Amino acid sequence: MVQPDPPAPADGDAGPGTTASPAPSAPSEPSARERDKIVVIGASAGGVEALLRVVRNLPPTFAAPILVVLHVPASPFSRLPEILGRAGALIAHHAVHGEAIELAHVCIAPPDHHLIVTDHRIALVEGPRENGVRPAIDPLFRSAARVFGSNAVGVILSGTLDDGTAGAAAIRAAGGTVIAQEPTDAICPGMPLSAIESAGADHVASADAIGDLLNEMVGRSTEPREMPPRPRPRKSEPTDLVCPECGGVLRDFEENGVVRFHCRVGHNYSPESLFEAHDARLEAGLWAAIRALEESASMSRRLSQSAYARGATATASRFESRERDAAERADLIRSAILTLSDLEDTPTLAEAQPVATEDDRRRAELEIDDVTPQPEGDVAPEPEAV
């Protein structure tokens, strides 16, 4: 029986017993790193206003895709695509897992999902939070640096703390370009200022000027620049700190000149974000201590009253002493929390009435001084109705 001839090898494929070699008339398609530009934008507090000012200056023929991460609550609803779509000529939508990235489109990270980019595809990840948020800016910027290299353009807009700094450093280390909003132009200057100081920025401009700058940059070919030798990443080392999210041991490491912390689970923190998370954890712990002491004082009062009713004077006196001690400690901790604020005096107008008024009456009976800071002078009169 005559065997049919084997199919001719496709371009670039090797036949049996031969060495593969691409056909000269059909060169391999360049990768995203070699061909296309991408713009990734990160923003937080005050970022909606800055985003509006950026996209309204971009033409409908903008020659690059735009991927956006804005810190938003983990609720299932966000109107940001509608807001940005009405502000300018570009189409804006929430990212869909696996979709292709398109030119002249603004693709926005949906709530509670990290947005990362592969070669011309979008991926949504419900991974560990970074810097206490999801979506976070750093994962998007790092993925853009890995895939697009020198064709990646990162933009850091208004926001607090320092999310985006490590990602901006990764883009610059890959030869890409970083643009930071002028801190004096941002509602919250923390993020752009951190990116400028810790990662470096190739351009610093107002939000109104960033749109024109992006349009100019994507319209010209990328010029390779001489990059300084990249320092070897410092191996992560265990610290005496714990992860604010899961309680695991944190390890610190340095990448592209930026110090970061991570735990075994995968939660990542930049220094300022870690400090903020621990500060919030400290305040929560202090309020929990106040609650425990108030409950101890209340229980001691009940036991003291019960002992008096039975005629056990010595026992009643002992529980009364415990009540006084717990109430005094609770007031001291409450005073310590109030002193953490920037206010010299705590306002008394429009204060809610305390629920446990019985505790206040009991403090008066036990002659416990209120250590809560009070404004000097007479109490201000009630404001007249407008």
Q: Which domain holds residue 96?
A: 33-218
Distance, CA of 334 to chain centre: 29
On whether both 204 and 114 belong to a single domain, the answer is yes
Q: With respect to residue 109, please indicate whether it lies within any of the assigned structural domains.
A: yes
Given 36, 138, 163, 331, which residue is catalytic? 163
CATH code for the domain of 87? 3.40.50.180
**303 assigned to some structural domain:** yes
* One domain for residues 168 and 317: no
C-alpha angle 70-230-210 in degrees, rounded to nearest 5: 35
pLDDT score, position 181: 97
Active site residue 378: no
Give the mean pLDDT of the chain: 81
Q: What is the pLDDT of residues 270-287, one digit of tens each?
A: 889 998 888 888 888 888
Are 145 and 279 part of one and the same domain?
A: no
Tell me the whole-structure pTM to 2 decimals: 0.74
For this structure, is 163 an active site residue?
Answer: yes
Q: How far apart are CA 198 and CA 168, in angstroms?
A: 9
Residue-wise pLDDT for 172-216, tens only, equals 999 999 999 999 999 999 999 999 999 989 999 999 999 999 998
Q: Are residues 52 and 144 in the same domain?
A: yes
The yes-or-no answer on residue 71 being catalytic is yes
Q: Which residues contact 196 (CB under 8 A, 6 or more apart)?
A: 180, 183, 204
Residues 299 and 331 in one domain: yes
Q: Which of 36, 44, 158, 331 is catalytic?
A: 44
pLDDT at residue 282 in the model = 84
Q: Beta strands of the chain (E only): which ranges?
A: 38-43, 66-70, 91-94, 105-108, 114-117, 122-125, 152-156, 177-181, 203-205, 234-242, 249-255, 258-262, 268-269
